[in-house]
Structure 1
Amino acid sequence: MYTDSVLLESRSARSGMTHRVEVLDKVKALAFSTGAAQATTRDVANYFEVPVKTVEKLTERHREELINNGMTVLRGADLHAYQTDTLSVSSEPGSGYPQRRSGLTVFSRRAVLNVALLLRDSAVAQRVRAYLLDVEEVARAHPGVEAVRQSAEELRQTVRTLAAGYGSLDRRVGNLEAADAELGTVLQELAPVIGRISTRVERMDHRLAETERRTERTEQVVCAMSQRLADMGEDMRAMREELRGVVRAVGAGPTPPESRMES
């Protein structure tokens, strides 16, 4: 049977307890300022009613253990996505100008329970450990009750996960609706410009069609002229033949040279 002091001193004892995250809400409601399934350092400090510095020092001393139980530091793209989805970019409420964070430490519910098993000078943490030890004692005495409790906790965890996902989805849908409204406004502003461009393009189409018609008529005229010139060439050759025949008939002299006549 574990005791409070054993939990505070033994990492192996704590590792067998951190899955019972339901005890947190049994002692006190754990509120996440972001509305997501991760608590900030300030959320953890508020829950255990201790200064933020106390939590920060504890995380420095037990960083590896807490990381194994779900504590993480968001940076870069992960931090940007987290801030965009759930958190303001300002580092402290009420600060004059928002300061961008280089990193943000967040805790899963399991990591918050891990903090409860490490904090010595917190009345809330002491109640969490006492409740946890009671739950463990009941579980050993009544295995069937523990199975039911475990199923209920899994159901509650599923509901929490779905609720967090729905909140994120709802915000994203809202962003899409806002973007759609903005796009509609832009399209309304562009409508007159698009209308004028459409009119000019239509006029150009008419001009191109008229140019094509004129080109076609010109080609027809050129073809007709070419045909007439060909017919005139035939007439000229016939007249030269007739002239040679007349000259030969009257004996007026030698037949005009072929080349001169043709010239």
Structure 2
Amino acid sequence: MPTEVALLESPALRVEQMGRVEALDKVKSLVMLPDGIHLRTEDVARYFEVSAEVVRKLTQRHRAEVEENGLRLLRGAELRVFHRDMVSLRGGEQAVSFPQAPTQLTLFTRRTVLNFAMLLRDSDIARSVRTHLLDAEEDLRASYVSLERRVTRIEGCLLGVGSALQELGPVLGRMSQRLDSLDRKLDVTHQAVGEIGLRLADVSRDVVRLDARMDGLSRRLRDPGRRTDG
């Protein structure tokens, strides 16, 4: 597990934490500009409870890194457009002021602020953010270890299931053969029953004809003098 000192010293370790901006609000609420995206140097200094000069000096020392994580410097027309947008978002109020020099404005994002939390040494707020990041990572590592153990147990169970299936395979094959044989016997039986049904139908017709002849014979016997046609 990385330590706080390692986080302060290692750009690579800071990169690994850059997606976890939720840690900022867990320590202290960020006051954003009206667009809900950016902060000024003074806003960042207020969050970390340090001077604006400390933020500016740290920006100069780590310029490339903080620019990769959202730092912007606005000048000229771009600054005027941004100023106009902020006025519009505040409902047309003209009280929007930027204490920095009017010719430029440095803007920070949540990602940039998190970057500063991993660079500022003498800020209790920054230290709390780092502690939160490290504790959360430790919890995450513990979860990974627990998950790995569960996966290992599942893999062990699957190995047992595989062996059981291998042993069950021949049994299922024999059962399948017996069922196929039974199915063929049932087909033969069905055919035989069908043939018996046909024969019984023929017998039934013969019985009907015999019964009719017996009825005729019975009538002749009751009336020997009666002549019959044919």
How would you bin the TM-score normalised by the shorter chain?
0.5 to 0.7
Give CA deviations for 1:213-251 in whole Å, capped at 9, x if unaligned: xxxxxxxxxxxxxxxxxxxxxxxxxxxxxxxxxxxxxxx
Contact 2:44 2:55 in 1 (8 A): yes
Equivalence for 2:20:
20
Please report the TM-score for the alignment, with normalisation by the length of structure 2: 0.56
Uncovered stretches (5+) of structure 2, i.e. residues with no partner: 88-94, 146-230
Equivalence for 2:52:
52
Contact 1:89 1:101 in 2 (8 A): no
Contact 1:36 1:86 in 2 (8 A): no
Shift of the alpha carbon at 1:100? 6.7
Contact 1:89 1:100 in 2 (8 A): no
Distance 1:110 1:91 in 2: 21
SS of the aligned residue for 1:105 comes to strand
SS of the aligned residue for 2:20 comes to coil
Structure 1 residues 115-130: aligned runs within 5 Å: 115-130=116-131
Give CA deviations for 1:12-42 in whole Å, capped at 9, x if unaligned: 1111111100000000001114453101101
Distance 1:61 1:36 in 2: 27
Distance 2:105 2:144 in 1: 40
SS of the aligned residue for 1:104 comes to strand
Equivalence for 1:111:
112
Shift of the alpha carbon at 1:143? 4.8
Give CA deviations for 1:125-151 in whole Å, capped at 9, x if unaligned: 00000000011111222259xxxxxxx
Give CA deviations for 1:102-147 in whole Å, capped at 9, x if unaligned: 1111111001000000000000000000000011111222259xxx
Shift of the alpha carbon at 1:45? 0.2
Contact 1:3 1:133 in 2 (8 A): yes
Equivalence for 1:226:
none
Distance 1:143 1:83 in 2: 46
Distance 2:114 2:86 in 1: 22
Distance 1:27 1:138 in 2: 17
Distance 2:6 2:50 in 1: 22
Contact 2:69 2:115 in 1 (8 A): yes
Equivalence for 1:235:
none
The residue type equivalent to 2:45 in the other structure is A
Uncovered stretches (5+) of structure 1, i.e. residues with no partner: 93-98, 145-263
The residue type equivalent to 2:137 in the other structure is E
Distance 2:113 2:135 in 1: 19
Contact 1:71 1:106 in 2 (8 A): yes
Distance 2:105 2:98 in 1: 10
Distance 1:28 1:8 in 2: 20
Shift of the alpha carbon at 1:78? 2.1
Q: Which moved more, 1:80-89 or 1:20-29?
A: 80-89
SS of the aligned residue for 2:17 comes to coil
Give CA deviations for 1:45-76 in whole Å, capped at 9, x if unaligned: 00000000000000000000000011111123
Please report the TM-score for the alignment, with normalisation by the length of structure 1: 0.50
Query: How many residue pairs end up in the alignment?
Result: 139
Does residue 130 of structure 2 align to residue 135 of structure 1? no
Equivalence for 1:2:
2
Q: Which has the higher contact order (CA 8 A, sep 6+)?
A: 2
SS of the aligned residue for 2:18 comes to coil
Does residue 80 of structure 2 align to residue 80 of structure 1? yes
Distance 1:82 1:107 in 2: 14
SS of the aligned residue for 1:142 comes to helix
Percent of pairs identical after alignment?
49
| Residues 36 and 78 (structure 1), Cα distance of their counterparts in 2 relative to 1, 3 Å cut | farther
Shift of the alpha carbon at 1:91? 3.7
